[in-house]
Chain A
Amino acid sequence: MKYTAKPLPPVNLPELKQVGKPLRRVDALSKTVGATVYAGDFSLPNMLYARVLRSSLPHGRITRLDTSKAAALAGVACVLTAKDLPQSILVTDMPGQTGQKRRSGSDAQVLAGEVVRYIGEPIALVAAETLDLAEKALQLIEIEYEALPAVYDPFEAMQPGAPILHAPDNVVARWKIRKGDVRAAMRTADLVLENTFQAPYQEHAYLEPEAGVSWIDERGVINIRVCTQVVEHFRSISLAVGVPQNRLRIQGTMVGGGFGGKEDITVEIFLGLLAKATRKPVKLVYTREESILAHSKRHPYVIKHRTGVMRDGRIVAAEIEMVSNSGAYVFLSPYVLLYSTGMATGPYRIDNVSVDALSVATNTPFTSAFRGFGAPQVCCAYEQQMDEIAKALDLDPLEVRRINYLRKGDCTAHGQEITSEAWLEETATRVLEALGEPAPDQGPIKVGQGFASYMQSYGRITWLHDTSQAWVGLEMDGTATIRAGVPDLGAGQVSALCQIVSEVLGVPMHSITIYHTDSATTPLSGTSTATRQLYMSGNATLQAANTIRKTLLERASKYFEEDPQNLDLADGKALVKSDPGQALNLKDLITVCAAEGLPLANLAMFKAPFTDPIDPETGQGRIWPDFTFGAQAVEVAVDTETGEVSVLKAVACHDVGRAINPGAVEGQIQGGSSQGMGYALTEDLSVVDGRIRAGSLSEYLIPTSCDFPATQTIILESGSGVGPFGAKGIGEPAFTPAPPAVANAVANAIGVRIFELPITPERVLKALGKAP
């Protein structure tokens, strides 16, 4: 065998009773028996149905908008346009939530007033007694536009004379890194290699289209029951709807998949406005086609690498330029671009670095968060570049990486020290070992192998001063309750919190109830984004549970006449560790504590490290709390006659710090890998002149059960993360190495690199010189 993994460094993982077990998630059975009530499944009496009129032009001035016929249709309760709104402003950068103050130019339109800037931009809302009537009313709205010159390509959008969407030059964000002396180092290099890589759009394609129901309750509070990744949006929503922040409640549902696509506001403001205008419950559910039109996409990037290397593979300098297409509005583009900038050099130690990154507005679908948040696109570039370096120097791809890998204690290109274990070689050798020898070629079918290493942050940008709160309480019968504003996207966010409480308080999982995702009744836990919930809310929950544990054990120590540290809580009992026969039912201990007025509930806040922003001139400074490291390897077969690529085998290995629920971790890794391989091979949004051509699931091809084999997962636990029990995040990291691993495998199979994803049969044939 070509690659053999060395034994792992010794780690000290404390023995745990509940954490670390692949327990059935608390939300799982309800989902499999069809009992989970998703956002679109909920109804109220006398409910109205809403529809949205959207722009059919990529850039145009609205010259006439007449809603009178629609409003006059019997059964139509209301029609709203921009002029009916208190202010048609969608705040995408909320002070206190994403920084100290609103970034100038970051607002979008709730409903387009004078100008539309992309196909699908909302213009008018209708609410009617039935969905059919709402649809009819939509068709009765008369609209005329004057077409305006449009620009679709970010490079053209930066040229003088281009239509301006974002003053003065369409550049919505720029970041840079300056470290060392790139020019001098390039002169000392044995080889300077330059390549340009393109990473495309990606559609989230969660199975649940955006949906929600709104109503006004007996207090006059606007309630919105919705699938969202961000409860805290109630602030921007209340601003747009024109009510105080404490008069608008978000009740988050179990989310039928998010991946970043439900990170920005979707249906919430429309629902709030319509409930306010009609004083009736309103339901709005997007169709699949509308969902694809209405929400963000992964940013397409063009990334140029110029790398100076020595003959032994050592990288002495990297000069990287990248441009992302932000679409018509800013949304999260500046933050996504920051991730790309900070991660541009990947998990490699390079002393001389210059990165210049721009995000540019065009008349195309807006782009924002998608699993990985700008890190996967740059991973596509740096990991393909590493293979190209290996090829140019005739070195083994692992060897070139090994000599450059970051280690604990090293600094990234932006000057942040790696403070947890960086198991890069450990993960890379394991995926290669597991992949084994490649299958033989068969005539025109060429087999190839490739892999990719990566690093990816978890937790939000540290200068956003992130916090999370969780409440834990014990009931008189020995059961436990958790309250946390955590949105559950299906990754097991809320179940992990239950597992943590079960560990600390010794209450069985089935005796724990969690209330979550409600701005009115659960403490705010922050967003289910940035792979932060286990890290942030896991730590908040752990803090709260530990406070109660301390109270219980102190009281129990009087009973047992033992020091608290000799006691434990397990299986619904307090017990003496050295003699588990000496035990007291938790219920009885709780009764005593309650009678004595000891607190049996706790609200805890966990604070991430707070830092100052990075230096804007050099990009130096801390950006993230910590990083996850890992690798993925893939074997493909390429049919050189048809251009088709089949994945024969995929292996992923990640150091997750500590797996709270190994079953859920495996699910994240396999799902992320599949989504990443889809991005590399089949998912082609095909945006032409601002119009999405693959606008449904019959054209936009996400992986089916027959497309890829299950990704073999190897879970490593260094125990070195900043999450509870040493956990690191895995939700986003699971995606990141998959696309470049596929691209490297294809290049290995056919001997030619395809610099643009997805690797479609057409592109393969073109690369082989068999198609124009």
Chain B
Amino acid sequence: MEPEVISLTVNGRRHRLLIDPNVTLLQALREHLGYVDVKNGCEKGDCGACAVLMNGKAVNSCLMLAVQAHGAEIVTAAGLGSLEHPHPIQEAFADLGGAQCGYCTPGMVVATKALLDEIPHPSEEEIRVALSGNLCRCTGYGQIVEAVRAAAEKLAAAETV
């Protein structure tokens, strides 16, 4: 098993990385590149805490090998916004109780971004299905659904301006 050189873009920044082929994208992002906003909750695709956008689609980074992300564009929750310039989705989650302990939140925010990119005005059913791969143990999901709805409205309003 020889290490391979891969290159990928994370949150707009290019990285070249010498990496063993058995390293997951989650490990590469967290342990090798320091993107610790990508959370590790189970490492087998059950919880969605490690979700990132890969070429615009939400994926569980624990279920991908880093080498599969060669040439890809990765966006994590921290790549969507910051404390100074939060993304409307992040503001909505913060304002409406979408984050309690917050550990599932980066993955939820990423899954929401992927959803709203595809369906700008989702129904409650569409929201719930889109987030069904992201477990939350604190909220019971009610306030998360509200946050997604509010974010959709905010983004739509920004679009029409």
| Interface set of A (CB-CB < 8 Å, partner B) | 22, 24-25, 27-38, 40-41, 204-209, 254-259, 285, 287-288, 489-492, 663-664, 666-667, 670-675, 696-698, 702-706, 708, 710-711
Contact = CB atoms under 8 A, between A and B. Distances in A.
Contacts of A258: 101
10 contacts: A34-B76, A208-B39, A257-B138, A288-B42, A288-B46, A490-B100, A666-B97, A671-B138, A697-B135, A705-B132
Contact of B137 (A28, A33, A287, A675): A675
B83 A664 contact: no
A739 to B, nearest CB: 14
Interface in B15-50: 30, 36-44, 46-47, 49
A100 B83 CA distance: 46
Interface in B131-148: 131-145
A604 B61 CA distance: 47
Nearest to B38: A34
B90 interface: yes
A704 B143 contact: no
Contact of A207 (B83, B128, B136): B136
Given A34-B78, A35-B82, A207-B47, A670 B99 contact: no
Contact of A664 (B42, B97, B145): B97
A531 to B, nearest CB: 15
B99 A32 contact: yes
Given A32-B109, A663-B97, A708-B140, A209 B132 contact: no
B77 A207 contact: no
Contacts of A37: 36
Nearest to A738: B140
B131 to A, nearest CB: 4
B132 to A, nearest CB: 5
B44 A208 contact: no
B120 interface: no
B136 A696 contact: no
Given A32-B99, A257-B103, A704 B132 contact: yes
B131 A705 contact: yes
Contacts of B82: 33, 35
B140 A35 contact: no
A287 B43 contact: yes
A31 B135 contact: no
B122 interface: no
Nearest to B136: A207
B103 to A, nearest CB: 3
Given A287-B43, A675-B137, A207 B109 contact: no
Interface in B98-125: 98-106, 109
B78 A35 contact: yes
Nearest to A674: B140
A667 B143 contact: yes
B96 interface: yes
A666 B143 contact: yes
B40 A40 contact: yes
Q: Which of A206, A256, A664, A705 has the most CB of B within 10 A?
A: A705
A61 B38 CA distance: 42
A259 B101 CA distance: 11
A702 B137 contact: yes
Nearest to A700: B46
Nearest to B107: A207
Contacts of A24: 94-95
Given A33-B83, A35-B78, A205 B43 contact: no
Interface of B: 30, 36-44, 46-47, 49, 76-78, 80-83, 86-87, 89-91, 93-106, 109, 127-129, 131-145
Nearest to B22: A132
**Which 5 residue pairs across A and B have the least CB separation, nearest first?**
A490-B101, A34-B37, A31-B102, A710-B142, A674-B140
A567 B140 CA distance: 43
A137 to B, nearest CB: 19
Given A34-B106, A35-B78, A696-B46, A489 B41 contact: no
Nearest to A31: B102
Contact of B86 (A33, A489, A697): A33
A667 B49 contact: no
B77 A32 contact: yes
B47 A32 contact: no
A670 B142 CA distance: 7
Contact of B128 (A22, A705, A711): A705
A675 B99 CA distance: 16
A672 B100 CA distance: 12
B142 to A, nearest CB: 3
Contacts of A35: 37, 78, 82-83
B86 to A, nearest CB: 5
A288 B137 CA distance: 14
A33 B76 CA distance: 9
A705 B83 contact: no
Contacts of A256: 39, 101-103
B103 A38 contact: yes
B96 A663 contact: yes
Contacts of A22: 97
A207 B132 CA distance: 15
Contacts of A711: 140, 142
A229 B41 CA distance: 19
A256 B42 CA distance: 13
Given A24-B94, A32-B99, A696-B46, A38 B39 contact: yes
Given A208-B103, A666-B142, 20 more contacts: A31-B94, A31-B99, A34-B77, A41-B37, A206-B103, A207-B101, A208-B41, A208-B101, A209-B40, A491-B138, A666-B97, A670-B139, A670-B142, A671-B138, A671-B139, A674-B139, A674-B141, A698-B44, A705-B141, A706-B128
A254 to B, nearest CB: 7
Contact of A257 (B36, B42, B94, B137): B137
A34 to B, nearest CB: 3
Nearest to B127: A705
B138 to A, nearest CB: 5
B47 A30 contact: no
B145 A710 contact: yes
Given A29-B83, A670-B142, A696-B44, A254 B102 contact: yes
Contacts of A209: 40-41
